[in-house]
Amino acid sequence: MVRKLNIKEPDLSVKIGKVIMKNPVMTASGTFGYGKEYSGFFDIDEIGAVVVKGINMAGSDGNKPPRIVEVTAGLVNSIGLQGPGVKKFIDEYMPFFDKYDVPVIVNIWGKDIDEYVQVASCLMKIPRVSALELNVSCPNVKSGGAAFGTDEKNLSKLIAKVRKVTDITLIVKLAPNVSRIADFARICESEGADAVSLINSYPAMVIDVDRRRPVLANKIGGLSGPAIHPIAVKLVWEAASAVKIPVIGIGGISSVKDALEFIIAGATAVAVGTANFTDPLISLSIIAGIKDYLIRHNMPSIKSLIGSLST
C-alpha cells in the first residue's frame, strides 16, 4: 500500500539554464506582447516567465494586412515579426519590468547571423533580461528565421556565433517542418544552447474560395492553436529523448491537460500561446491545474512528472 503524503504545496519550480522559474508556465513569444499588455488582467509575477515578442536590430513593420485568419481549431497568422527594434525595446519597453520579479526572456531574430549577434550583444548588457530565445523558425518572413531552423549547418553556425558573445541563458526555438527534430535538438545542445523550445507555428495557407486567392497578403502564414497540439507533443517527446538540456513545450495549449501532456512527454516547462487571445487568465488556470494534479497524484515536486511517460 502506497503511503499518502500530506502535500499542500508541491514544488513547481524548474530551472532553464541559469533561469529559475517558480513554476513551469511561460508565455509564448508573439502572444503576450511585451508583458504590459496583460498586466491589467493579472499579476504577471505569478507566471514562470514572460517571453516577449520578437526583437531584431532596426525594428520591423511586419507584413501587409490581412495577416491573421481564424480556422478550425486555430489561427493562421502572417504578422511578419513586427517589432520596435532593440534600442527602442530597451529604452521604452524594458523599464516596465523593473517593478516585477518574473524572468524576462527576449525572443530575437535577424536577417542574417550578424544581426542575431548584434541583437544578442545589446541585450546581454541589460540586467533584467534573463534569457534569449533565438527565433530560427518563423514561417512568416522572407529572410532569416526558417532559413536557419530548417538547415542544420546554418543553425550550427548561428548558435556558435551567438554563444560566443553572450553567457546568459540561450534557448533555441525550433521549427516543426524538419525531417528529424532530434537532429536539430542535438545541434543546439552541441553548440552550447541551454535549452530548446518547440514548436513554432506550422507553415499553412488559407484560400478565399470565392475570390480564389490566398486570404493572407503574404499568401502563407503559420498555423497555431489546438490543431497543432498533437504534432507538438510528438516532436517534444522526440527532442526530449535526444538531448539532456531542458525542452520547453509549445503548441496548442488550451487546458491543463495539454500542458501536462508536454511535461509527461519530457518538457521541463511549457509556453502558452494562442489561448492567451481568448482567455488572458489561461496561464493562471494551468498553474493551478498542475498544482492540483501533483497533489492528487501524491507528487511533492514537478520534477517527478517531467519525462514520466511510460512507453
Taking phi over 0 as left and psi of -120 to 50 as alpha, with beta for the rest, 28 belongs to beta
Q: Which of 143-147, 175-179, 286-290 is the most confident on average? A: 286-290
For residue 31, the SS3 value is coil
Position 8 scores a pLDDT of: 77
Q: What CATH architecture does domain 14-63+80-203+225-304 belong to?
A: Alpha-Beta Barrel (3.20)
Position 116 scores a pLDDT of: 96
- Average pLDDT on 251-268 reads 98
Cβ partners under 8 Å of residue 244, min gap 6: 189
Task: Tell me the pLDDT of the chain averaged across its residues.
Answer: 94
- Alpha-carbon distance 235 to 179, whole Å? 11
pLDDT 10s digits, 102-158: 999 999 999 999 999 999 999 999 999 999 999 998 776 655 566 788 999 999 999
| Strands of 72-168, DSSP E | 74-77, 104-108, 129-135
Taking 70 as the threshold, does the pLDDT of residue 32 lie above it?
yes
Cβ count within 10 A of residue 8: 7
Stretch among 43-52, 138-147, 186-195, 218-227 having the lowest mean pLDDT: 138-147
Distances (CA, A) of 94 to 19, 27, 47, 117, 280: 18, 16, 18, 20, 21
Cβ count within 10 A of residue 288: 14
CA dihedral in degrees (220, 225, 231, 235; nearest 10)?
Answer: 90
Position 185 scores a pLDDT of: 98
Cβ partners under 8 Å of residue 257, min gap 6: none
Q: Domains of the chain: which residue ranges?
A: 14-63+80-203+225-304
DSSP string, 231-260: HHHHHHHHHHHH-SS-EEEES---SHHHHH
Structure-model confidence comparison of residues 6 and 80, the more confident one: 80
Position 284 scores a pLDDT of: 98
Position 146 scores a pLDDT of: 60
Q: Of these residues, 86, 120, 138, 158, which one is catalytic?
A: 138
Taking 90 as the threshold, does the pLDDT of residue 1 lie above it?
no
Please give the order of strands across the beta sheet that includes 202-205.
Answer: 68-71, 74-77, 220-224, 202-205
Distances (CA, A) of 185 to 9, 66, 163, 246, 287: 33, 34, 16, 10, 27
- Average pLDDT on 208-231 reads 97
- Average pLDDT on 163-176 reads 96
pTM of the full predicted structure? 0.95
- Alpha-carbon distance 282 to 294, whole Å? 19
Position 3 scores a pLDDT of: 47
pLDDT band of residue 2 (cuts 50, 70, 90) is very low
User: Percent of the chain beyond pLDDT 90?
Assistant: 92
Cβ partners under 8 Å of residue 310, min gap 6: none
Residue 138 annotated to the active site = yes
pLDDT band of residue 7 (cuts 50, 70, 90) is low
